[in-house]
Amino acid sequence: MSKRFVVPLVLLLVLTHLAGCAPKAKEPIKIAVQGPITGKWAYEGEGFVKCVKLLAEEINEKGGLLDGRMIEIVEADDKGEPSEASLVAAKMVDEGVVAVVGSYSSTCTEPASAIYNEANILQITPSSTATVLTTKGYKQFFRTCFLDDRQGLFVAEKFIEWGIEKAFFLHDNSTYAKGLAEWAMKYYEERGGEGLIDAITPGETDYTPILTRIKAAEPDAIYFTGYHPDGGLLLKQARELGLTPDILFALGNACNNPEMIEIAGVEAAEGALVSTEPLPHDLPYPEAKEFIEKFEAKYGEPPASIWWVMAADAFNVIVEAIKATGSTDTDKMAEYLHTEFKDYPGITGPIIGFDEKGDRLGTIHKFYVIRNGEFVPYEK
């Protein structure tokens, strides 16, 4: 192209652009990654950015989306603080992003989601599990993680599958543990099991009274949903009182911590099950193996947390919505995700779809069993 043509062409472009009717063919598609990129959870926020950038670069190398528009990742650091989350969300709205992956914690996602809803920008959180987030009637809010009740459903279904007729659900009266225990019991009873429920006071050192009562109730399984220091002591005292190994002892994901085994002792912890989201390297899907390989090749280490991979899935879902609707229009994308988006092969497992509130259907939880003081995936 000779210079003679360039100057008028540029002028023409500028003028048409000012007139507001220019074809936006090469304008990048901006997608924000919001999370605690600095601060106490920086580890998670950085992981989000690493995963999303890896996928975006790959798409850009192949020519981008929507006839050659490149994806531009905008980092939105909310430091894990709710006040920062609102500020940075407002900044992203000004920035003109079409979709957001994030934020990490529910306390940050909540204020940010109000702003993105106001501006009508698609938002997918990879890791905020609080039930309240999807009860606000936001049409453009989704999540690739699962609600707390999904874990309860998973445990209930497994208990029924294993022929457990009577189960004792034990929590510690914290919002999280109580919710999980109640969900698990509800689903278990709906499926024909006989459920009993009670609570301990966390931080105490002697749980033999409640354990003796559980023993007298003769359940086939116990499910404790509280935190690991109490889980460890419960395992120890359950073994001493002779509840285990005859009664199956399962614990929730707040007990997914090696310190629990230290407190219980290797012997008393042997054979206990822990229900939790799988670690990235235990994901059995080909998409997961491929992604982890690419991640390792680029960053020299595998993704450390399941939430990072959930962020990758959130990004993929956005890309899928843009491709399928052929636009970056929020209403079209949200409508597509609510209705047509089905059985997508996600890295964290098949994404069956989203319900009308924007919650992901299905579950990815699995059981780990403690063998010789180590957590290993459990198959039965």
Question: Contact positions toward other proteins, by CB under 8 A?
Answer: 170, 173, 198-201, 203-206, 208-210, 212-213, 215-216, 229, 232-233, 236, 240-242, 259, 262-263, 265-266
The residue (of 79 and 236) whose beta carbon lies closer to other proteins is 236
Closest approach, Cβ 277 to other proteins, in A, equals 23
Nearer to other proteins, 209 or 245 (CB): 209
Residue identified by tokens 């950038």 is 53
By beta-carbon proximity to other proteins, the closer residue of 60 and 257 is 257
Query: Count of residues for the chain?
Result: 380
The conformation of residue 332, written as its DSSP 8-state character, comes to: H
- Alpha carbon 376 to chain centroid distance? 21
Residue pair 200/227 in contact by the 8 Å Cβ criterion: no
Q: Which two tokens stand for residue 278?
A: 């799988």
Minimum distance of other proteins from residue 197's CB (angstroms): 8
Omega of the bond leading into 245 within 30 degrees of 0 (cis): yes
Q: Return the number of the residue (50 or 236) whose C-beta is nearest other proteins.
A: 236
Helices (H), 96-251: 106-118, 148-161, 175-190, 208-217, 228-240
End-to-end Cα, the chain, rounded Å: 68
The nearest distance, CB 303 to other proteins, in angstroms, is 26
Quote the least distance from Cβ 82 to other proteins, whole Å. Answer: 25
Nearer residue to other proteins within complex by CB, 55 or 264: 264
Q: At its nearest, how many Å lie between other proteins and the CB of residue 128?
A: 26
Question: What one-character DSSP code corresponds to residue 195?
Answer: E
- Least Cα distance to 121 among 105, 101, 106, 137 occurs for 101
Least gap, CB of 159 to other proteins (angstroms): 20
> Residue 306: CB partners within 8 Å, gap ≥ 6?
277, 278, 279, 280, 348
Of 57 and 262, CB closest to other proteins: 262
